[in-house]
Amino acid sequence: MADALKIGVAGLGTVGASLVRILQERHEMLATTCGRPIELIAVAARDRTKDRGVDLSKAVWFEDAVALASEAEIDVFVELMGGAGDPAYSSVKAALERGIHVVTANKALLAKHGIELAGIAEEQGALLNYEAAVAGGIPVIKALRESLTGNTVSRVYGIMNGTCNYILTKMEKEGLTFKACLEEAQRLGYAEADPTFDIEGNDTAHKLSILTSLAFGTAIAADDIYLEGITNISIEDIQAAADLGYRIKLLGVAQRTDSGIEQRVHPTMVPHDSVIAQVDGVTNAVAVESDILGELLMVGPGAGGNATASAVLGDIADIAKSRPGAQHVPAFGRPTTALMPYKRARMQSHEGGYFIRLKVVDRTGVFANIAGHMAENDISLESIMQHSKHYADPAEPKTIILVTHATHEASVRKAIVSIKSEGYLVGEPQVIRIERPKDW
Amino acid sequence: MADALKIGVAGLGTVGASLVRILQERHEMLATTCGRPIELIAVAARDRTKDRGVDLSKAVWFEDAVALASEAEIDVFVELMGGAGDPAYSSVKAALERGIHVVTANKALLAKHGIELAGIAEEQGALLNYEAAVAGGIPVIKALRESLTGNTVSRVYGIMNGTCNYILTKMEKEGLTFKACLEEAQRLGYAEADPTFDIEGNDTAHKLSILTSLAFGTAIAADDIYLEGITNISIEDIQAAADLGYRIKLLGVAQRTDSGIEQRVHPTMVPHDSVIAQVDGVTNAVAVESDILGELLMVGPGAGGNATASAVLGDIADIAKSRPGAQHVPAFGRPTTALMPYKRARMQSHEGGYFIRLKVVDRTGVFANIAGHMAENDISLESIMQHSKHYADPAEPKTIILVTHATHEASVRKAIVSIKSEGYLVGEPQVIRIERPKDW
């Protein structure tokens, strides 16, 4: 059996503690599978006195992750601290500069510094593995980086934030408001005390930016993503979607178009009988459409200490199974020098179907006027209907729901501006894009 | 850039021709991704004169695959001939004995000789890659062999035969008979002229036996699988399933139980709102339940020249990215000497829910008598109902449908024997097992 693989772990939160426990409990099984033992020889965390339920007596303790990465006699540096800044950034960089392999679950770090770090890894012949950074336990990085080699990807999309999917699922199944479902998610630990980063779509955007680079061979452009969160989604939207045969999901979508790459995160209506529509609760799902393989969909746990630790462990095992300096696996699928610049497709030129919900005062001719504005903008309608209650008070505003055939974002925005100028609208119009998964 | 990876391809059918075309058209892209060019230097096929739509002028032609595997100066032998016997077996063996890596899409070969071949590969430090052998383009081998390292798998199951799933989907959606749907599948090229191997479940069993070995670390036991095909499934079953909130799929299931490992292939009722129930047509799906990661489901194309070629290419690329002798990736996840013997769990001890459809003569007390036999065998019923038509002719037999809570196969079989002995049954009872995917 080959020499032990010596690892150092920085960050002993939920994921770090899970990982350490698994490495200890399954020491022998891992040695058999990997052909060599995996030894935890160093850890870094702030509070040395905290009981993490794992035995750390054999590991050298560093208060400073950068010191661990710079000094410890390790083969792999495992970064589980999180955050785009320090100590995550400096410690990962320090490890790679020494030619030490890095495994990280840190999406924010990669979204911001991924290409720079990948470049250092290549120069030093080190691996930079980050399966856990996107969609937790779902092996989507491996699929894009390894399985799909040779394919040209046309679209990658998915449900990548468990908090949002939990809230949307609960709103639909129990008819509760966004606020009530968010509070329940917070109670269950599925949402942070400050949930902004999740519910506004930033977390999904970070993950999407990494997938985009892998899928299209471009530099990461995490700040160049069209972003809409789910705070604006009402029960009325969810019910109207259901009536029309759709469900609402927060999707991250990256798509190759004639004018560049579209990266967008927004609430999306997907057909009710599509596979991805059935993905409920905190579960994640990622789909990749490519020209040789066709469409691949992967569904699994997107977060949680164990699922994330499992992905980290898979990355460590890949290194254990390879031999030092033995592999050519560029972090983003191709050498950083061969990555193409990211060219953003403007959101205005996005093509797709739209769901539009309008509240209007009950006045003769409104229906025809709305239809007219759509026609003026060359928007072809799949349906237009008035949602009426059993007893309709003429003084109450009426709800009109439109579903368009594929059209341009610019046309929809123009039509909405025209409709707004007519003066019969009550409140803001709701616009939700429709995404059609490939037919299975 | 490192030296070219030299490959020889044996078998130039649909998959082989697709692979050769892709290797030529994407030569540069592959060299960038893999860090070295991939060169096709030798091919073997029977008919040299046949036009396969690809340029083979630069490859040395072998009439004999074994000669190619034994003599050609290649780094990788790609076996795409199929069949458990020769020339597939001897050529793969010859290549591995020379220490040459092998990539194959041949499930029958692996189901029969996989462990022997894996042993030779290990001795010689060669890789034996076979992503395309199970579920076509779905990277389930990679997920089990690499991503799930360290996990203990409890169940793996899936839709692994496109022909059967196409037929069952079409029967449900269009209300056509099994025979009509099979003929349509044959017309579209989704079913062979002799479809026995697919529709009787043997193809699924081969694939399942490979997944079982990878998932549970046991020797392959392809002949030790409980097998039931779909020829017996009627529209009545499908409609009754739909009424009860289920869909019928041909699943291969391998499951860890107290008494050993259950391997079974049979028509299965899955809840209508489960993700796997939405997998239609020729699409495949494989789910893996493990203790650290949780449940992972992968959906994608299970067959077809391009999807299969994509999986083969992924396997070749993995070798191209590694360096000769540089990796320790045992073919079945652990060294063959560390594989455990397969211990079969008896089908009689299977536990699960059952759907039972009986045709009975219309006689007072039959209903109570059936319920009585169930109770005698400690079978708890979820529902029992009589399917009646709008106009029921008393002389016509009546259909009674039972759905049980989780019970034992042995109890169900005993109850059926008792019911049969009563003399009120018309024809054979239909029994379909219910499988519950983990709740997402």
Q: Which of A296, A304, A306 sits opposite B300 (nearest CB)?
A: A296
Q: Which residues of B touch A323 (CB under 8 A)?
A: 326-328
Which residue positions of A form the known binding site? 10-17, 107, 192
Residue pairs spanning A and B at CB distance below 8 A: 212
Average pLDDT, rounded, for chain A: 93
A356's CB contacts (< 8 A; 6+ apart) are A401, A402, A403, A404, A412, A416, A429, A430, A431, A432
Q: Quick one: tokens of A109? A: 């770090």
Q: Which of A139, A280, A323 sits opposite B147 (nearest CB)?
A: A139
Q: Which residue of A has its CA nearest to B288?
A: A300
10-residue block means of pLDDT along chain B (440 residues)?
91 95 96 94 91 90 96 97 96 97 97 96 95 96 96 97 96 95 93 93 97 96 95 94 95 95 97 92 96 96 93 96 72 91 92 95 90 96 78 79 95 96 94 84
Q: What is the pLDDT of residues A380-418, one digit of tens each?
A: 999 988 876 555 677 788 999 999 999 999 999 999 999
A contact residues 323-382, partner B, Cβ 8 Å cutoff: 323, 326-330, 333-335, 338
Bridge partners of residue B252, in order along the sequence: B158, B265
Nearest CA distance, A199 vs chain B (angstrom)? 21
- State whether residue A15 sits within 8 Å of chain B by CB: no
As a whole number of angstroms, the distance between CA A168 and CA A180 comes to 11
What pLDDT score was predicted for residue B409?
96
Nearest CA distance, B104 vs chain A (angstrom)? 15
Cα torsion angle, B342, B348, B350, B356, sign: positive
Phi-psi region of A270 (alpha: psi -120 to 50; beta: other; left: phi over 0): beta
What pLDDT score was predicted for residue A386?
83
What pLDDT score was predicted for residue B1?
64
What pLDDT score was predicted for residue A388?
63
Report the 10 Å Cβ neighbour count for B179: 10
Report the 10 Å Cβ neighbour count for A293: 29
- State whether residue A147 sits within 8 Å of chain B by CB: yes
Higher pLDDT: A102 or A303? It is A102
Split at pLDDT 50, 70, 90, the class of A267 is very high
What pLDDT score was predicted for residue A65?
97
B contact residues 155-214, partner A, Cβ 8 Å cutoff: none
Give the whole-number percent of chain A exceeding pLDDT 70: 97
Strand order across the beta sheet in which B5-10 lies: B60-62, B38-44, B5-10, B76-79, B101-104, B128-129
For testing the chain B interface, which of A19, A291, A321 should be mutated: the one with the most B CBs within 10 Å? A321
Q: Which residue of A has its CA nearest to B147?
A: A314
Asked if B207 is an active-site residue, the reply is yes
Q: Quick one: tokens of A66? A: 């950068």
Q: Which residues of B touch A290 (CB under 8 A)?
A: 310
Cβ distance B322 to A326 less than 8 Å, yes or no, reads yes
The number of C-alpha atoms within 13 Å of B227 and in the hemisphere containing its C-beta is 18
What pLDDT score was predicted for residue B273?
87
B contact residues 32-71, partner A, Cβ 8 Å cutoff: 32-36
Phi-psi region of B288 (alpha: psi -120 to 50; beta: other; left: phi over 0): beta
Give the whole-number percent of chain A exceeding pLDDT 90: 85
What pLDDT score was predicted for residue B195?
95
- Domains, chain A, in order of start with CATH, read 5-137+305-338 (3.40.50.720), 141-301 (3.30.360.10), 348-434 (3.30.70.260)
Q: Which residues of B touch A34 (CB under 8 A)?
A: 149, 328
The Cα-based distances of B48 to A150, B57, B78, B91 in angstroms read 27, 11, 18, 19
Supply the ipTM of this predicted assembly. 0.94
What pLDDT score was predicted for residue A440?
47
Which residue positions of A form the known binding site for L-homoserine? 192
Active-site hit among A93, A207, A249, A398 = A207
- State whether residue A309 sits within 8 Å of chain B by CB: yes
| Three-state helix/strand/coil letters over chain A | CCCCEEEEEECCCHHHHHHHHHHHHCHHHHHHHHCCCEEEEEEECCCCCCCCCCCCCCCEEECCHHHHHHHCCCCEEEECCCCCCCCHHHHHHHHHHCCCEEEECCHHHHHHHHHHHHHHHHHHCCCEECHHHCCCCCCHHHHHHHHCCCCCEEEEEEECCHHHHHHHHHHHHHCCCHHHHHHHHHHCCCCCCCCHHHHCCHHHHHHHHHHHHHHHCECCCCCCCEECCCCCCCHHHHHHHHHCCEEEEEEEEEEEECCEEEEEEEEEEEECCCCHHHCCCCEEEEEEEECCCEEEEEEEECCCHHHHHHHHHHHHHHHHHECCCCECCCCCCCCHHHCECCCECCHHHCEEEEEEEEEECCCCCHHHHHHHHHHHCCCCEEEEEEECCCCCCCCCCEEEEEEECCEEHHHHHHHHHHHHCCCCECCCCEEEEECCCCCC
Q: Quick one: tokens of A234? A: 């009402």
Angle of helix A178-187 versus helix A162-174 axis, rounded to 10: 120
Cβ distance B301 to A295 less than 8 Å, yes or no, reads yes
Q: Which residues of B touch A317 (CB under 8 A)?
A: 146, 149-150
